[in-house]
Structure 1
């Protein structure tokens, strides 16, 4: 069993990732959820995380609110993608459980210093602000974390928030730089991968047949009013970005890639937040991330639908 902390900014695809983690109690022990400003402001990401835990039947998982803005820059939200609440038309009752009073940054430091070295995997589903701030405040946590698995970056696909940048990196590029320079064991799942994992019409129809409340919730967030899947740009469907993090932990054979060096642009106004992925090792810089760029989409959706059928 892998012990995980999910750091998240829900966000409809974050919501699916949380539900998928809850549907894998034999493989994943969800220690806590930490929230960060990102797709929507912090107050909303925290409320969404609490409500999703209740939807998935796990209201006892503690939720720790974190950073309300990036390390240096003004916040960049994405309501145009995720809807005003972040959950794109899904209406959930307010959670009964309250958020924790301890700040997410302090919680991360406390857990990583308390638990055996290497025993915690951090699942990053949004901007890296919380963990980067923890690294700045307590750099001694870097060798104690087992692995960081982050949905972030883009190489061949280009960006989804600018021509050069993927949203989670662009929203706090300085935090991304801290993470990439930290020396932690890091796996990145970029747009190159997640744009292969599309909720198409046929998959949405199959999801609606699952019948659980969790499956219906996902169908609402990723389906338009006419019953068809939402579309992103010219693609026939919409990518499920963040669930790929959890799916990778459950089935490492789903995705393939290679270890490379990744740096982030923090200065240029044109390419701010660009993930400079040295695929061919031309810079000679040390490899600091496993960059996954090949996906078995059918296997992914089979895993997702099978697990959603387990939830209430």
Structure 2
């Protein structure tokens, strides 16, 4: 059966690839895309989301702008990774599709109320501000969510924005804390898994050679994105973090993980934003998340290449 999803995002080159994968996959029905401040401020993330949708030729998918700042903190952004626009690497034209007037939080609430209980999956691939705000404003929607499949956190790999914290969780740890405590079934794609999703030069060249507009765009984004990881980690490619969420929905057999308890640190002097993942189950806290540890890299990139080739 087709899975109905809402993608909550702060594009981001890897967010863009995730959105393209979702729009190219008949297993998924993208009900809408909600933008949040994260990698870059909201005025850029909502424009980037519309550019990506238009690049894919999907004018039917609505884009809604959401929260401009985290629940309790000043916004931290990541232009040092994604460039000043968030989508550096290729210059896309200004989008012609309109931004929807309905706030993203209201769109999430209304959509969950309008669809049968347990039929809509939320896919947050940025800070969790929109999701937590929707849950706080309309707690009746919480049991209506089928599951949340998110990119965020780390355990063995620890942090990428601080020594202890992954970026998406760090930007709004209070929002993450609320979502992880909500009781909604969670699937977490942390850095432990996504750092195995490294691009290769052969794959990027294959994307560039595709006779469509989306393949070369993905190659250009990846070229830009790779430079940060090569300089910081000495890796040969760049991890495509966010597409792992969409791939899990389509091909969960490509991933390995276990059900564990995950808590969010909000008070630590050095550990704010840390995902305290009880991988070895040493506490008596009940499991609240399927925490993914490994993925089949070759299978993931075969899926990405196959689907991106089908786009305009």
Q: TM-score, normalized by length of structure 2? A: 0.97
After TM superposition, give the deviation of residue 228 of structure 1 in Å.
Answer: 8.3
* Aligned equivalents of 1:46, 1:241: Cα separation in 2: 20
After TM superposition, give the deviation of residue 211 of structure 1 in Å.
Answer: 3.2
Alignment-derived partner of residue 283 in structure 1: 283
* Aligned equivalents of 2:132, 2:258: Cα separation in 1: 24
Alignment-derived partner of residue 100 in structure 1: 100
Alignment-derived partner of residue 48 in structure 1: 48
Q: Deviations over 1:97-134 (max 9, x none)?
A: 11111111111111111210011011111000000001
* Aligned equivalents of 1:27, 1:203: Cα separation in 2: 24
Alignment-derived partner of residue 307 in structure 1: 307
Alignment-derived partner of residue 195 in structure 1: 195
Taking structure 1 as reference, are residues 166 and 230 closer, same or farther at Cα in structure 2, changes over 3 Å only? closer
Alignment-derived partner of residue 84 in structure 2: 84
Partner SS, residue 40 of structure 1: coil
* Aligned equivalents of 2:224, 2:16: Cα separation in 1: 17
Pairwise CA RMSD: 1.5
Structure 1: tracts of 5 or more residues without a match: none
* Aligned equivalents of 2:28, 2:210: Cα separation in 1: 22
1:1-312 mapped onto 2 (5 Å cutoff):
1-24=2-25, 26-224=26-224, 231=230, 232-312=232-312
After TM superposition, give the deviation of residue 204 of structure 1 in Å.
Answer: 1.7
* Aligned equivalents of 1:104, 1:43: Cα separation in 2: 13
Query: Number of residues paired by the alignment?
Result: 310
Q: Deviations over 1:56-83 (max 9, x none)?
A: 0102211110000000000000000001
Structure 2: tracts of 5 or more residues without a match: none
Q: TM-score, normalized by length of structure 1? A: 0.97
After TM superposition, the runs of 4+ consecutive aligned structure 1 residues lying more than 4 A away are 227-230
* Aligned equivalents of 1:82, 1:118: Cα separation in 2: 35
* Aligned equivalents of 1:228, 1:188: Cα separation in 2: 26
Q: Deviations over 1:154-205 (max 9, x none)?
A: 0001100010000000010000000000000110000000000101223222
Partner SS, residue 261 of structure 2: strand
